[in-house]
């Protein structure tokens, strides 16, 4: 029995697939306008764990993940510029070139993290006709209205609106200040946005030339492949209050019944106890971590040691500890591999049960990892232990049967020398000299991040 925390009902529930033995699941994919950072990638480590646990329990999966390559505005509440168009203008490329470039980087990140990729990958730009038909269905049922800048969904026609995020239609004080005062309610959202003539990504529709709203994309693509009733929808907690709330409204109104049984959300990644943001300069990508000498699987290991729906605090000390622990774990497992000894079936069965109980209890990978460490450290060397550890790795996806790949930092020697001189100056309390050296490092395109154990050099 697998229990999962359903954000919609706010409780752990037993997974009861609509079709026995088959789990139909949709995952909110990325908007491919920029480099994915480690906070983004936690959502896909979570998706990976869920898929692996389902497979470990012998379920088949029909999974869908979307690629948003149009329609996602810079504000999730339908204001600002289209993220794709804005990136294209900034980089002097077409939106399609931007989408292709960052989609490739995203899938490269998935490969580095050994993520189990869903069966279907759908792109928003390939589903425009279906989105128009979906909007027409809502229109025919009286859920839409048209104003100067687009076609909108009328949330007042859906009394259950707010059930996911616990917000009330009367609680408009929490809504953002709306530039568009034609909306009937601040929570109303765009299904189709009209665009100007110089807008690159645009299509004809019954309501006028424009592009789809972000929220309609997922409803259309999930429905096309998974149908009007499926088991699980996953995504980051940042999607919960607006994007996923709007998806529920669209889905349930279009089909006349509850479409998604279980909503699962992963929590935020904090950095040094605070929010991750560009303005604070504390957003990191997997490539940057590799440049500093950390493997992507070390970051995955770091994520797996905290439950997916709890906040996790990223620090370089924690990442370094995770990398060391993963290296040691692989060494221990390799020692068991080389042994010809056996372990009693009862002992193996006990560890198997403890592991299964952990991962089936809302994907408790932290507890499951504890079972694995206890087994490989506490039991005598045995090839049976090795085989069971590799069996557990079907859930972790850490390539525990392979030596940890050594990642070399590519920071230039000159920068390393300056960073060490700066550190020594700081220890000597010669802060003026330390500041001079920091500026020299900055001029060479790098920054120095201090920690309790020393410092880390990052390419800017």
Q: How many domains does the chain have?
A: 3
Q: For residues 292 and 365, which has the higher predicted lDDT (pLDDT)?
A: 365
Q: 404 by DSSP, 3-state: which? A: coil
Q: What is the mean pLDDT of the chain?
A: 93
Asked whether residue 262 falls in the same domain as residue 274, the answer is no
* Over residues 203-210, mean pLDDT: 98
Indicate which CATH number applies to the domain containing 360.
Answer: 1.10.730.10
405 occurs within a structural domain:
no
Asked whether residue 228 falls in the same domain as residue 312, the answer is no
- 442 CB neighbour count, 10 Å cutoff: 12
Query: How far apart are the C-alpha atoms of 88 and 83, rounded to whole Å?
Result: 9
- Contact of 302 with 308, CB cutoff 8 Å: no
Is residue 225 pLDDT above 60, yes or no?
Answer: yes
- 247 CB neighbour count, 10 Å cutoff: 25
403-457 pLDDT, tens digit each:
876 665 667 777 888 888 998 898 899 999 999 999 988 888 788 888 666 788 8
Q: What is the pLDDT of residue 396?
A: 98
* Over residues 98-116, mean pLDDT: 97
Question: DSSP secondary-structure letter at 203?
Answer: B
Q: What is the pLDDT of residue 116?
A: 98
Asked whether residue 210 falls in the same domain as residue 339, the answer is no
The phi-psi region of residue 454 (left if phi > 0; otherwise alpha if psi is between -120 and 50; otherwise beta) is left
Quick one: which of 123, 119, 117 has its CA closest to 99? 123
Asked whether residue 348 falls in the same domain as residue 203, the answer is no
Q: What is the pLDDT of residue 452?
A: 62
Q: 286 by DSSP, 3-state: which? A: helix
Q: What is the pLDDT of residue 174?
A: 46
Asked whether residue 80 falls in the same domain as residue 35, the answer is yes
Per mean pLDDT, which range of 103-117, 253-267, 321-335, 432-446 is the poorest?
432-446
Asked whether residue 389 falls in the same domain as residue 443, the answer is no
49-76 pLDDT, tens digit each:
999 999 999 999 999 999 999 999 988 8
Quick one: which of 115, 90, 104, 114 has its CA closest to 36? 104
403 occurs within a structural domain:
no
Query: How far apart are the C-alpha atoms of 183 and 205, rounded to whole Å?
Result: 21
**If you search the block for the tokens 């929010």, which residue do you land on?**
275
* Over residues 373-381, mean pLDDT: 97
Percent with pLDDT over 70 in the chain: 96
Asked whether residue 179 falls in the same domain as residue 207, the answer is yes
Is residue 133 pLDDT above 90, yes or no?
Answer: yes
177 confidence band (pLDDT: 50, 70, 90): very low
Residue where a domain terminates, one of 231, 266, 301 = 266
Cα distances (angstroms) measured from residue 323 to each of 21, 29, 377, 402: 36, 27, 18, 14
Is residue 181 pLDDT above 60, yes or no?
Answer: yes
438 occurs within a structural domain:
yes
404 occurs within a structural domain:
no
Query: How far apart are the C-alpha atoms of 329 and 327, rounded to whole Å?
Result: 5
Q: What is the pLDDT of residue 408?
A: 59
Residue where a domain terminates, one of 211, 235, 266 = 266
Query: How far apart are the C-alpha atoms of 116 and 119, rounded to whole Å?
Result: 9
Asked whether residue 250 falls in the same domain as residue 326, the answer is no
371-375 contacts at long range (C-beta below 8 A, 24 or more positions apart): 372/329, 372/396, 373/329, 375/351
Asked whether residue 309 falls in the same domain as residue 428, the answer is no
406 occurs within a structural domain:
no
Alpha helices (H) along 305-444: 316-337, 345-359, 365-378, 383-396, 413-427, 431-443
Asked whether residue 343 falls in the same domain as residue 439, the answer is no
Asked whether residue 222 falls in the same domain as residue 275, the answer is no
Q: What is the pLDDT of residue 175?
A: 47
Annotate 406-458 with three-state secondary structure.
CCCCCCCHHHHHHHHHHHHHHHCCCHHHHHHHHHHHHHCCEEEEEECCEEEEE
Give phi and psi for 221, each to the nearest 5: -70, -40
Asked whether residue 436 falls in the same domain as residue 343, the answer is no
Is residue 296 pLDDT above 90, yes or no?
Answer: yes
Percent with pLDDT over 90 in the chain: 80
435 occurs within a structural domain:
yes
Query: Domain range spanning residue 437?
Result: 413-459
Quick one: which of 297, 377, 379, 368 has its CA closest to 329? 377
Question: DSSP secondary-structure letter at 240?
Answer: I
Please tell me the pTM assigned to this model: 0.89
Residue where a domain terminates, one of 251, 266, 281 = 266
- Contact of 448 with 456, CB cutoff 8 Å: yes
Quick one: which of 326, 325, 334 has its CA closest to 382? 334
Per mean pLDDT, which range of 51-65, 167-181, 327-341 is the poorest?
167-181
* Over residues 264-288, mean pLDDT: 90
Indicate which CATH number applies to the domain containing 71.
Answer: 3.40.50.620
- Contact of 36 with 91, CB cutoff 8 Å: no
408 occurs within a structural domain:
no
86 occurs within a structural domain:
yes
């Amino acid at each position: 029995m697998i229990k999962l925390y359903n954000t919609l009902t706010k409780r752990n529930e037993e997974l009861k697939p609509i079709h026995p033995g088959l789990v139909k699941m949709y995952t909110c994919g990325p908007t491919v306008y920029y480099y994915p950072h480690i906070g983004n990638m936690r959502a896909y480590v979570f998706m990976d764990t869920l898929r692996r646990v389902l497979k470990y329990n012998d379920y088949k999966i029909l999974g869908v993940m979307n690629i948003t390559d149009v329609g996602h505005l810079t504000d999730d509440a339908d204001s600002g510029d289209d993220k794709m168009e804005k990136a294209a203008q900034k980089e002097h490329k077409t939106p399609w070139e931007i989408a292709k470039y960052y989609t490739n980087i995203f899938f490269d990140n998935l490969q580095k993290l050994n993520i189990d990729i869903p069966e279907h990958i759908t792109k928003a730009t390939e589903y425009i006709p279906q989105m128009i038909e979906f909007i027409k269905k809502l229109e025919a049922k009286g859920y839409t209205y048209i104003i100067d800048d687009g076609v909108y969904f009328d949330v007042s026609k859906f009394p259950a609106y707010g059930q996911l995020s616990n917000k009330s239609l009367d609680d408009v004080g929490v809504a953002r200040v709306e530039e568009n005062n034609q909306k009937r309610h601040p929570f109303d959202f765009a299904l189709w946005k009209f665009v100007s003539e110089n807008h690159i990504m645009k299509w004809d529709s019954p309501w006028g030339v424009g592009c789809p709203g972000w929220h309609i994309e997922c409803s259309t693509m999930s429905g096309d492949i998974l149908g009007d009733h499926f088991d699980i929808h996953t995504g980051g907690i940042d999607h919960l209050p607006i994007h996923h709330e709007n998806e529920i409204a669209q889905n349930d109104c279009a089909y006349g019944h509850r479409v998604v049984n279980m909503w699962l959300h992963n929590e935020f990644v904090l950095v040094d106890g605070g929010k991750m943001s560009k303005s604070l300069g504390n957003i990191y990508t997997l490539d940057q971590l590799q440049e500093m000498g950390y493997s992507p699987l070390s970051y995955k290991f770091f994520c797996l040691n905290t439950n997916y729906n709890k906040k996790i605090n990223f620090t370089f000390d924690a990442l370094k500890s995770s990398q060391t622990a993963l290296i040691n774990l692989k060494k221990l497992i390799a020692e068991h591999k080389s042994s010809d000894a056996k372990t009693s079936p009862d002992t193996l069965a006990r560890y198997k049960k403890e592991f299964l109980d952990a991962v089936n209890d809302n994907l408790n990978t932290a507890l499951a990892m504890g079972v694995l460490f206890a087994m490989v450290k506490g039991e005598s060397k045995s090839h049976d232990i090795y085989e069971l550890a590799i069996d557990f790795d079907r859930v972790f996806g850490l390539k525990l049967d392979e030596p940890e790949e050594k990642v070399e930092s590519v920071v230039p020697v000159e920068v390393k020398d300056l960073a060490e001189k700066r550190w020594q100056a700081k220890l000597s309390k010669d802060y003026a000299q330390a500041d001079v050296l920091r500026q020299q490092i900055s001029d060479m395109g790098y920054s120095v991040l201090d920690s309790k154990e020393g410092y880390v050099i990052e390419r800017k």
